Amino acid sequence: MAIRYDDTHAALDLDQLASLFCAVGWAYRTADPGRFRQMVLGTPWIVSAWDDDHLVGFCRAITDGAFNAYVTTVAVLPAYQRRGIGRELMRRLLADRDHMLFVLHAEPDNHDFYKSLGFADADNMLRRPRSH
């Protein structure tokens, strides 16, 4: 398996991305196609992982481009998990951006993974949940 990585929006297939999101339990993010499309197009930094022409992984960060970035999505198809794809997606997303403060929210089961990439616990995080 030779996984190919891409960091352009041009490579993305929104139908495959929607399928990936559904496979990892995020179908709610694809329910409104216009909103889903805007989510992708409004994200400046993305990295996708491909097995031939099949999308197997995706990550993205929203950013001001100067100081702060928020990693908001990291997804790998279940059949491709535990093969280093998520780690490589994140490596590429963070590469050459050591001057940026990256933050993210993660399920407790995933904390060790993100800590291995240099993230640390932050007790001062506040959030306003969305209504839907």
Active-site amino acid positions: 114
Q: Do 92 and 5 meet the contact criterion of CB atoms below 8 Å apart?
A: yes
Record the tokens describing residue 35, joined without a space: 């909103």
* CA 119, 122, 127, 130 torsion-angle sign: positive
- Give the CA radius of gyration of the chain: 15
Query: How do beta strands 54-63 and 101-104 pair?
Result: unpaired
In degrees, rounded to 5, the angle at the alpha carbon of residue 23 between the alpha carbons of residues 33 and 78 is 150
